[in-house]
Structure 1
């Protein structure tokens, strides 16, 4: 059999970023509802300065607002809505942002639920990611477990020398790990690097290292294997709510302008400036993929049973099959399962099959019959019944829900 080839892919995978594309899609959905004209302009400040004083270039601006544009607001009183978490003018401007602390808590709770007792965080010197890492560490520390934190440069791939330094930093951080360990990693690209470094050490993913990485950039999360579990932020909602907030601000400014004209003969009253509105949106949820699809236990027999189920769930296995593979009586294994995991063997088999069905529904266009067969359900109807009971929606509805974010990112006027 020929040796498997190893192929390098040289692409600048930083752009386009999902957080930019999805936020843009959200603004366009609201713009379509209101009949707005949208103009893509990365140099609003410069264009404002070039315009004649009486000309009105824009009625409002949504975006990654820099300090220079905020400073011009006294000369050009245009409502601004910021969506840039790390903006230097985040505090004084209205804005809509994701809840970074909630992301960190969600990741920690997910890995704790996998039975892990050792944790590590790889973050960058970035306000959002530092806040996320702090929340992750707080949750696992409150649960009584250690967490090793490493901070990377803001741009780890600035140059080859910086990248090598980053790799050495991560390698040194990993020297302190005690697998099995749950790891939160700032980006999908860094997640892929950690996967490679784990393989050099002979560590299995997720058997030795369970990884949650990035903000669900689907292509980088799903390829190459193992696929990476990640948090879906819901950036499209941020864009939509930013547009809604801008609409309110533009309406308020219009009312103030008309009121000012009517009362221009009166003495102006001293009014204390109000705090700018900030809307903080929670993440939509954890997208579980192969990198965390396991359960860590100290009981060797149960660990072997879980590994057998993970490797053979696509086959017609049951409680007896698992017990036979470990050369123990079914009743003995069932009792140990309940003692250690507080659930029967059949529940774990069903859980693994359901998680794999979820991934197939998202990542392929295959029929329910094909998916049911390949993940271990007896037929399409069994998949349907189990999925509805465990997930709360039909497989088809789940597929539509999970693909909505992707379709919004590629359509200029997504359907609400």
Structure 2
């Protein structure tokens, strides 16, 4: 394995975990080798110490493995050897579409994106994001920064790029950002300008590195890629190659598991100020025992009037929006911790465990316990 395991990111550790799951099921002996190209050179002309390689493959590794007739599965789309090696990658285009669809369903009509230059995955994601927004009749203001955005002179350039990019926004706006770190930078820049997240700027960023997404407020909505699945499928492909099967004609693309919704996009953008005020009240008070009459009183209008406006702008009743907010917050609690179901039900506004159970079964097709178990399985 050559996966840069000193970096505790999912794209490394998750893929490694997936390969080891497959290895354990098939009684493989795994070797972690940070320099497999050097190992192959050392054993030049002699049997190598392994039968196959899963790696973020360099060009040198690809050449030496080919000379030694050792199959390699590449899990790094930006690899210089990506075109010559069989690979297993995230479906970046599907991720881009999901990000755009998530923001579109939040009611946004202005969009922007910030990605790293020379990153093939983010380029594919940006293209799909932009195309999906365009198909809905809108435009996307995109900007790119260096892969070394946080170092020296590049950081000062990055700050200028972000400032210029943000100055052209028309709010409220939904934005896609390639990494969680840049997502944090933009969220802070919004705060410095007095802009609210998510009311003025809704942010979906990166690939669900929990420490970066959940440790600060606002918590960041992100994309759960399923890197463990990529690792497992990479090991399955390597198994076939080691048994003499031909490589697939193209890369194997693994669809994302979905958007993890957090505070940074937990909002609906609407032009109607009455609806906007009602949504803010629901977001701030959904953990309490509130109903449509409470929401109407909070925005100083009649229940019937507000109900008609909800149906016109959001295509659903007030009660459905209250329920949606509670579900999203319950999902976060279930995914992020080990609080008892009874405590979560009270904390997010369902009151009783059975009420939360009924809503989850009806709206999501799973029980709260099943949802938590599914999330835990994806992370192991």
On whether the aligned pair clears a TM of 0.5, the verdict is yes
Query: Displacement, 1:279?
Result: 0.7
The DSSP-based 3-state class of the residue aligned with 2:202 is: strand
8 Å Cα contact 2:44/2:68 also seen in 1 = no
8 Å Cα contact 1:104/1:136 also seen in 2 = yes
Within the alignment, does 1:104 sit opposite 2:96 as a pair?
Answer: yes
Query: Displacement, 1:390?
Result: 1.4
Query: Displacement, 1:366?
Result: 1.2
The DSSP-based 3-state class of the residue aligned with 2:243 is: helix
Change (3 A) 1:275 1:399: closer
Of 215, 221, 235, the residue aligned with 1:243 is 235
**1:130 corresponds to which residue?**
123
Within the alignment, does 1:191 sit opposite 2:183 as a pair?
Answer: yes
> Which residues in structure 2 correspond to 1:7-406 (within 5 Å)?
15-51=7-43, 53-125=45-117, 126-159=119-152, 161-252=153-244, 276-406=249-379
Distance, in Å, in 2 between the alignment partners of 1:276 and 1:333 is 56
Query: Displacement, 1:173?
Result: 0.5
Q: What is the aligned-residue RMSD (CA, Å)?
A: 1.5
The DSSP-based 3-state class of the residue aligned with 2:126 is: helix
More RCO (CA 8 Å, sep 6+): 1
8 Å Cα contact 2:86/2:247 also seen in 1 = no
8 Å Cα contact 2:22/2:236 also seen in 1 = yes
The DSSP-based 3-state class of the residue aligned with 2:208 is: coil
Residues 8-49 of structure 1, C-alpha deviations (whole Å, 9 max, x = no match) = xxxxxx931111001000000110111111000021111111
Unaligned runs of 5+ in 1: 1-13, 254-272, 409-416
Query: Displacement, 1:275?
Result: 6.4
8 Å Cα contact 1:22/1:405 also seen in 2 = no
Distance, in Å, in 2 between the alignment partners of 1:197 and 1:30 is 43
8 Å Cα contact 2:37/2:60 also seen in 1 = yes
Change (3 A) 1:275 1:281: closer
8 Å Cα contact 2:241/2:247 also seen in 1 = no
8 Å Cα contact 2:15/2:228 also seen in 1 = yes
The DSSP-based 3-state class of the residue aligned with 1:252 is: coil
Residues 224-269 of structure 1, C-alpha deviations (whole Å, 9 max, x = no match) = 011111111111011000100010011117xxxxxxxxxxxxxxxx
8 Å Cα contact 1:182/1:209 also seen in 2 = yes
Q: Which has the larger radius of gyration?
A: 1
Residues 374-395 of structure 1, C-alpha deviations (whole Å, 9 max, x = no match) = 1111211111111121121111
8 Å Cα contact 1:93/1:276 also seen in 2 = no
Distance, in Å, in 2 between the alignment partners of 1:275 and 1:192 is 39
Distance, in Å, in 2 between the alignment partners of 1:156 and 1:403 is 33
**2:3 corresponds to which residue?**
none
The DSSP-based 3-state class of the residue aligned with 1:356 is: helix
Unaligned runs of 5+ in 2: 1-5
8 Å Cα contact 1:150/1:173 also seen in 2 = yes
8 Å Cα contact 2:278/2:295 also seen in 1 = yes
Distance, in Å, in 2 between the alignment partners of 1:158 and 1:328 is 53
Query: Displacement, 1:403?
Result: 2.3
8 Å Cα contact 2:96/2:129 also seen in 1 = yes
Residues 40-83 of structure 1, C-alpha deviations (whole Å, 9 max, x = no match) = 00211111111262323211001111101111234200011111
